[in-house]
Structure formats: structure tokens, C-alpha cells
Amino acid sequence: MPESSEQVSAAQHVESFDAIVIGAGVSGLYALYRLRELGLKVRCLEDGAGVGGTWYWNRYPGCRFDSESETYGYSFSKELLQEWDWKEHYSGQPENERYLNYVADKFDLRREIQFNSHVTSATYDKRAKRWDVELENGQQFRTQFLVAAVGILSARYIPPFEGIDSFEGESYHTSRWPKERVDFTGKRVGVIGTGATAVQMIPIIAKEVGHLTVFQRTPNYCAPLRNSLVSDETQRRFKETYSEIHKRIRETSGGFIHDFDRRRAMDLPREERLKVYEELWRAPGFKKWLGNFRDIMTDRVANEDFAEFVRNKIRARVKDPVVAEKLVPKNHPFGSKRIPLETEYYEAYNRPNVLLVDINETAIERITPRGIKTSDKEYEFDVIIYATGFDAITGSMTRIDIRGEAGQSIKNHWEGGMRTYLQMQTAGFPNLFIATNTAFCNYTVCAESIVEWITDCIRYMRERDYASIVATGEAEQAWVDHTNEVGSKTFLSASNGWFVGGNIPGKARAILMYANPAPAFRAKCAEVASKGYEGFVLE
């Protein structure tokens, strides 16, 4: 049967590429840079109207790095390192977005980026060994390699509250914050959630609103950020020692400048332990977590010892003892969730215009036209902010209809939890690379090593005329078993947080982060490559 004019027209509009990158965030920009260096014809498809990924979408008040700025920037270009000046030790969203725009402009990456392009499906054509990619607007592409740089915290989640569309005031999710400033002056504001996002935002808007009501499900072990401006002298030191800084963060367990204390916590007398704890607490950043005694992540007695130290720090900062106890975490170990870093978070609850509502005591029943109805009462608001987090790690993949060589969707393949080999490929989905950092380490450092492994693999294939690569089912299962075994030796599985998918109702509970030290992860990836990509089938 001859093709219709519509079919011919559609076929003429399918653009072909050697590689397509989904996402123009930290990983996507570097993947685009590396793939172009290989001489490939590349297109980057970005949902947003600008580059930056998480730093484009998350514009809420107080949004910033929780990694040290000098460790978060790219390390691949010495010239870039010398040109860019970080203004703060823990940089805020506006500067982070400017940085990634600077990177895109410096390396002329925009000419290969197509913005406002929401990918809805990707289907593998086994015969042609190509991926067919389609956008929400119907635009189609064909590519040999598909690199999903979709981020681990990009699939926003809002609980399906009854009546959510009935609210007559303003409502926002923190990950889709407007570019224009939101004016809270004198307004009645409700915030649902007390995760890392809310912890950054609440102290800032509390000073502006007429009244703020915070609805909390699970309190967190929040630790002081202790941010400050970067002095000229410190800036010079960064630039003079970047090689040493990057060497260190590639050697530490978590890919940060911090590394665990090798001693066992309980081997020290109590007074000496408390002295160490106090020193850690005075330090900025994640040192309270990643520079602590190593066994706080594996030994319950050691963990509880430090957890109680943190609880007492929280109690000391909140004037009302009833409110303080609501803010003290008691149902999960310290470090089983990513530790939110804060500035004046607990002091916000000392303000007369801030109210904390524990939804374990009085559950949210529905959203009403006027506000939020709990089992106890109705709260009236002008603004509702959903700081309700993300369908982390897997959600940004499974929300795209990705279908492999047998027609199976990745959503079904991952129904019982994320299934990959080396966190970067999944069996049955040839030439699909996952360029997101699911290793337990500093994002940019690990993102660079992951992107470099992927692009080195593509170079290897093209030099040897291979058309496709796919992980074997056996290699995938062995990696899943290994990931679960490693994770089970830590406290990552001991909470209901996003590390295990516990924040999403109905999502299979599984360890989603690779918990082995970052150097061990990179060594394993290098070993697989050195053995001709052992565990993969190349054709």
C-alpha cells in the first residue's frame, strides 16, 4: 500500500543524529561537549527554556549548593577553572545558573541544544539499531546513541491531595518556581514538607510573610551550613590548588573534600567523642556527616550516640520544648537520608508568625478553595507551597515512555526497583546510557567520570565499527545483587526517604544509590572497560 502524503511528510521531518542527549544540566552539558569532541552529530533536547537543569528549575528563595563551591564546578577545563570566581563558599541558585550559562557560552554548546523540548517517548528499532525519539509537540528524531542526562531530582512529586485544583489562591511546587520574584509580604502562607528544599526556604520567607504554617511529616537531622563569602585570598588559593582539590575529592569515599574518620566512635571515651562532635558541628558543610567516624553509618550504637548529640543541638535552638520535640527526628538513623544543611532554620520556629503542624497527629485531609483541611481544622491561606520533593532517581526515566529491543518499557523493567549494570545501562535497552550520578558522591565529580566512561565507550565502539552495546541480563542481576549487598551494610535502607523510594506511595522499596566508596565505583567501571566491556554484548 502506498504511503499517504501525511506519512511521507512526517518521515521527511525525522532528524537523524549520531547521539541525542536528554537534558542540559550538569551532566548533559558535559556529555554534549564530549560527544561533539568525538566528531559526532549531536543534539541536546532540553525541557526548559535555558541551560542548568536543577539550577534552572529550582529558583525558590534560599536555593543553593550543599557542596563546597570549589568542588562543584567542572574540572575538565583548566582555563574555565581560572576564569570563574565563586562568590560564596556554598553558592546560591542565581550564581549557579550563571555559571552553567557561562559554560554553555564558553564552549559554544547552545548551537546543539534545542530548548522547550519535552521528550515523551524513545523506542529502540532493533533492526536498524537506532532509537526513535519523540517530543510532546510531535517532533521526531532518530539516533544511534541515546544519553539520558535527566537528573536524579527532576521528576517533581505532589501527593494526590483531594481538592488540589480547587484552591483559589497562589500555589507553587518548589522545583517549578517562577522566574519573577514571588511577593509574600503580609500573606498567609502554607508550606507542605520539611525536606532539604523547605529547610533552605522557610527561614527566608518567614521574615516576609504575614503568617507561615509548616506541615511536617518527617523531621530531619538538619546541620548548620555556615556559609560565607569567598575572600580574594581564598579565591587565589582555589585557583592555585585546583589540581590538589580535585585529586582529593577523587580519593575520598564520598567525592567531597571530607573523608570519614577511620576510628570507631565508641572506642573513644565519651568526653573525647563529644569534643570531636563539637569540632565537627562548628565546621561548615557536610563534615558533620562525611567527616565523622566511619562507623556512624554502619554501627547502630555509634549512630545513635551522634544522633542524640544532634537532637540536643536542635532542642537548644528551639524555645518551645513541645515544638522542639516535633522537630527532633526519632524514626530513622542519622545519615540514612541526605542531611539538609541550614541557616537559621530552627530559629524560624521561634518567630510568633510561624506555626508547625505535625501531620502524623492531624493528617491533611484535603485542599480546599480557602486552604488546607486537616483532621483537626481548616487553615486559610493566600499561598500554598508544595515542598514535597521528587520521584527520585528512577522517576525522571520512567516518566518517559522508553521501550527497548523487545518492546518492554523501562518503567515495567524497573517495577521492582532500579535495574542497571554499573548504574549506566540496563539489559534489553541497547545504546541507552544513563548519565546521572547515582553513585554516592559529589554530583559534578561523579557526573564527569560517568560521562567520560560513556563517551570513551562510544569512541571504542566507533573505532571498531560496533553498532550497538547492551548489558547482559546476568551482568545486570549481579550488579543489582551487589548494589543491594553494599547498601544493606549501611543505614541507607533504614529510612523511608528518597534514597530507597520510600517517599512515593506505591513505589517499590529498593536501594537506589550505589553505596560503595566513589573510588571503588570508578575502579570497577575502569576494570570493565579494560576487559573489552565485560558484561556487555557488542555487535
pLDDT tens column, 492-506: 777 778 888 888 888
Of 484, 534, 410, 472, the C-alpha closest to 22 is: 410
Query: Quick one: cell of 170?
Result: 497562589
CATH number of residue 478's parent domain: 3.50.50.60
Residue 374 in this model has a pLDDT that exceeds 80: yes
Q: Which residue has the cell 563558599?
A: 89
Q: d(Cα 471, Cα 32) in Å, to the nearest integer?
A: 23
pLDDT band at 3 (very low <50, low <70, confident <90, very high): very low
**Residue 173 belongs to some domain of the structure:** no
* Terminal C-alpha separation, the chain: 33
pLDDT band at 442 (very low <50, low <70, confident <90, very high): low
Q: Residue 441: its pLDDT value, please?
A: 64
Q: d(Cα 458, Cα 448) in Å, to the nearest integer?
A: 15
Q: What is the pTM of this model?
A: 0.94
Q: d(Cα 156, Cα 322) in Å, to the nearest integer?
A: 32
Residue 275 in this model has a pLDDT that exceeds 50: yes
Q: Which residue has the cell 486559610?
A: 380
Whole-number average pLDDT of the chain? 93
Q: Residue 9: its pLDDT value, please?
A: 41
**Residue 197 belongs to some domain of the structure:** no
pLDDT tens column, 290-319: 999 999 989 999 999 999 999 999 999 999
Residues 6+ apart with CB under 8 A from 225: 66, 90, 284, 285, 341, 342, 343
**Do 65 and 26 meet the contact criterion of CB atoms below 8 Å apart?**
no
**Do 124 and 432 meet the contact criterion of CB atoms below 8 Å apart?**
yes
DSSP labels, 187-207: -EEEEE--SHHHHHHHHHHTT
Task: Output DSSP code: residue 295.
Answer: G
Q: Residue 23: its pLDDT value, please?
A: 97
Name the residue range of residue 150's domain: 5-51+109-155+392-538
Residue 337 in this model has a pLDDT that exceeds 90: no
**Residue 250 belongs to some domain of the structure:** no
Q: How many CB atoms lie within 10 A of CB 468?
A: 18
**Do 79 and 49 meet the contact criterion of CB atoms below 8 Å apart?**
no
Local structure of 365: helix, strand or coil: strand
**Residue 370 belongs to some domain of the structure:** no
Q: Residue 489: its pLDDT value, please?
A: 81
Alpha carbon 115 to chain centroid, angstroms: 21
Of 512, 430, 496, the C-alpha closest to 466 is: 430
Residue 50 in this model has a pLDDT that exceeds 80: yes
Residue 2 in this model has a pLDDT that exceeds 90: no
Q: d(Cα 121, Cα 118) in Å, to the nearest integer?
A: 9
Of 180, 179, 184, the C-alpha closest to 205 is: 184
**Residue 188 belongs to some domain of the structure:** no
For the chain, the farthest-separated pair of C-alpha atoms sits apart, in whole angstroms, at 85
341-342 vs 223-224, strand pairing mode:
parallel
Q: d(Cα 394, Cα 155) in Å, to the nearest integer?
A: 9
Q: How many CB atoms lie within 10 A of CB 459?
A: 16
Q: Which residue has the cell 565499527?
A: 465
Proportion of the chain above pLDDT 90, given as a percent: 83
Between residues 257 and 111, the one the model is more confident about:
111
Q: How many CB atoms lie within 10 A of CB 127?
A: 6
pLDDT tens column, 86-119: 999 999 999 999 999 999 999 999 999 999 999 9
Of 422, 440, 439, 89, the C-alpha closest to 260 is: 440
DSSP labels, 230-254: PPHHHHHHHHHSHHHHHHHHHHSTT
**Tally of domains in the chain:** 1
Of 18, 194, 9, 31, the C-alpha closest to 107 is: 31
pLDDT band at 11 (very low <50, low <70, confident <90, very high): very low
